[in-house]
């Protein structure tokens, strides 16, 4: 049951992000202003909450990414992705267009009882449940 609930939550988040991307690409100016006023603060607060969970401890380890047997030094992959997307932004080389990036990032969908969705194999990251939405990227040289 936890796996089904996790997939439902992931699907809802991916669909919301797709909807926001679609609005950014196709909406008229007044609609964009309205969406920006409501969604940008929500997205910023979401990033803050996620980054707070990955704030380094007194040893410089990420408490969320670290396990008992493996310590993950800061900055962890969550902070690296945050920096890449929020700070480096247009400065970072982008090999994919926005549309191709969204398509390549789309996650596999596992059927949920009562929903009419296609089934596909889950990635290893999703099946572990550890940072299912974060794909570590190499740091630019």
Q: Is 129 helix (H, G, I), strand (E, B) or coil?
A: coil
Q: What Å distances lie between residue 12 and 22, 61, 73, 125, 128, CA to CA?
A: 15, 31, 31, 18, 19
List per-residue pLDDT tens for the chain, 141 residues long: 788 999 999 999 999 999 999 999 999 999 999 999 999 999 999 999 999 999 999 999 999 999 999 999 999 999 999 999 999 875 645 544 454 454 445 444 444 444 433 333 334 333 333 344 444 455 555
CA proximity to 120, closest of 112, 109, 132, 104: 109
Paired with 61 in beta bridges are: 73
pTM to 2 decimal places = 0.59
100 vs 93: CA distance, rounded Å? 15
Radius of gyration of the chain from Cα atoms? 17
Query: What residue spans define the domains of the chain?
Result: 2-128
Cis ω before 75 (30° cut-off from 0): yes
């Amino acid at each position: 049951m936890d796996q089904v609930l996790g997939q439902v939550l992931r699907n809802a988040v991916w669909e919301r992000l797709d909807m926001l991307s679609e609005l950014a690409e196709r909406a008229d100016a007044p609609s964009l202003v309205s969406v920006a006023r409501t969604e940008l603060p929500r997205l910023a607060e979401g990033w803050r909450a996620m980054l707070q969970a990955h704030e380094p401890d007194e040893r410089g380890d990420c408490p969320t990414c670290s396990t008992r047997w493996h310590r993950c030094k800061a900055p962890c992959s969550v902070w690296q992705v945050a920096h890449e997307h929020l700070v480096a932004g247009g400065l970072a080389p982008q090999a994919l267009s926005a549309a191709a990036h969204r398509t390549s990032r789309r996650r596999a969908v596992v059927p949920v009882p009562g929903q009419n969705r296609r089934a596909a194999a889950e990635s290893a990251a999703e099946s572990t449940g550890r940072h299912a939405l974060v794909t570590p990227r190499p740091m630019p040289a």
